[in-house]
Amino acid sequence: KNEVEQSPQNLTAQEGEFITINCSYSVGISALHWLQQHPGGGIVSLFMLSSGKKKHGRLIATINIQEKHSSLHITASHPRDSAVYICAVREETSGSRLTFGEGTQLTVNP
Amino acid sequence: NAGVMQNPRHLVRRRGQEARLRCSPMKGHSHVYWYRQLPEEGLKFMVYLQKENIIDESGMPKERFSAEFPKEGPSILRIQQVVRGDSAAYFCASSPLPGHTEAFFGQGTRLTVV
């Protein structure tokens, strides 16, 4: 079992829909990152969380430390949001390295 | 302030050749991390370096792979005698402080071994 599990693996939505991507982890963490990767492109950091909730534009990220769970929400989705969304954790015991989920492939159709 | 710069973006090598991947961290960042993304798989940690020191290489394959981050110049990930299974995207990230408080990634180098 992976230390970081994401669901769903693939998600197709219509433009304008509200989208939720989930991340569960099984280890103690000091921080959780949500990343975005476009096809053939680099990786962009969307959020870093250690507690609570953060919002940036149409993106919202929440984390529940007790339940070891985080969600990424996209409101009013748009085709340009189509990308792979990756959850990554910095484990308390690993120092500096990140452990990644497998990613969620999001496709938003016009 | 330029972001994390990786080059080349694409690299094709024949089996048995050497591959050298370069990563210039963001200005003021002295901590560098290398990650590998195999086809259809998630990202995996390889190595964490500080200037002139390897801090954590627990994710590096035991043979053929090495990394350095000299006092001057970029960090280099070196793969000797490449095999088809080395084909992957290699990403570098940098941070100003230990502990990877923020995640600044480069565009990646896509290595294809033919």
Over residues A6-25, the pLDDT tens digits come to 999 999 999 999 999 999 99
- Say if the Cβ atoms of A96 and B44 lie within 8 Å: no
In contact, B102 and B1? CB cutoff 8 Å:
no
B74 cis-preceded (ω within 30 degrees of 0): no
| Number of C-beta neighbours around residue A64 at 10 A | 11
**Residues of chain A contacting residue B98, judged by C-beta atoms under 8 Å apart:** 95-96
Q: Extract the tokens encoding A103.
A: 């990613």
Q: What 3-state class would DSSP assign to B16?
A: coil
Query: Closest partner residue to B42 among A33, A97, A100, by Cβ?
Result: A100
Q: Once rounded to an integer, what is the mean pLDDT over residues B68-86?
A: 96
> Quick check: A99 contacting B, CB < 8 Å?
yes
Alpha-carbon distance of A89 to A29, in angstroms, equals 6
pLDDT digits (tens, 9 = 90+) for B82-113: 999 999 999 999 988 776 667 789 999 999 99
Q: Does B100 touch chain A (CB under 8 A)?
A: yes
Q: Select from B42, B91, B103 the Cβ nearest to the Cβ of A102.
A: B42
In this structure, how many other beta carbons lie within 10 angstroms of the beta carbon of residue B65?
Answer: 19
Q: Is B25 helix (H, G, I), strand (E, B) or coil?
A: coil
Q: What are phi and psi of B39, to 5 degrees?
A: -55, 130
Contact flag A90-B100 (C-beta cutoff 8 Å)? yes
Report the chain A residue with the minimal C-alpha distance to residue B31: A96
Compute the nearest-CA separation of A102 from chain B (Å): 4
User: How many other C-beta atoms lie within 10 A of the C-beta of residue B68?
Assistant: 16
CA distances from A102 to A7, A32, A83, B108, B110 (A): 9, 15, 13, 17, 18
Min CA distance, B101 vs chain A (Å)? 8
Contact between B90 and B80 under an 8 Å Cβ cutoff? The reply is: no
CB contact under 8 A, A95 and B107: no
Interface of A with B in 45-84 (CB under 8 A): 45, 48
Burial class (CB in 10 A: 0-12, 13-18, 19+), B49: buried
Q: What is the pLDDT of residue B60?
A: 95
Residues A36-76 have pLDDT tens digits of 998 877 899 999 999 999 999 999 999 999 999 999 999 99
Chain A residue closest to B102 (CA)? A48
